[in-house]
Amino acid sequence: MNNRWRTYIRQRKILVKLGVERYDITKPHKCPVCGQHEFPWGNSFLVCPVCDWMDDGVQEDEPDRDGCANRHSLNWNRQRWAEKNK
C-alpha cells in the first residue's frame, strides 16, 4: 500500500469520527436486504451476489425511495426478499 492510499484512509477515518463521512471504508457492511452478503464498506455500489441489491447509501438513508442505484426502494426489496424466503 503506497503512502497516498494510507493518507486517504487516515483522512476518511477522521471524517467518519467527526460525523462528516458516514461510511467507513475500512469496515465491512452487511447487505441491508438479505443480510447474508458482506460488502467491503458501506455505499460501495457493489451488487450483492445473493439478492442482487446494489449497495446504495442514499436508499439506506431513505428506504422508501425508488429509482436510485436500484429500481425499487430498499423496503420494497426487503419485503420481496422476505416473501420469497419464507
At 66, the amino acid letter reads D
**For the chain, what is the domain count?**
1
Q: How far apart are CA 34 and CA 81, in angstroms?
A: 7
pTM here is 0.72
Least Cα distance to 26 among 47, 45, 5 occurs for 5
Tell whether 8 is covered by a domain.
Answer: no
pLDDT at 49: 96
Tell whether 13 is covered by a domain.
Answer: no
Per-residue pLDDT tens over the stretch 57-66? 889 888 999 9
Tell whether 45 is covered by a domain.
Answer: yes
Tell whether 73 is covered by a domain.
Answer: yes
Q: How far apart are CA 62 and CA 22, in angstroms?
A: 14
16: confidence class by pLDDT, cuts 50, 70, 90: low
Query: Which domain range does residue 67 map to?
Result: 23-84
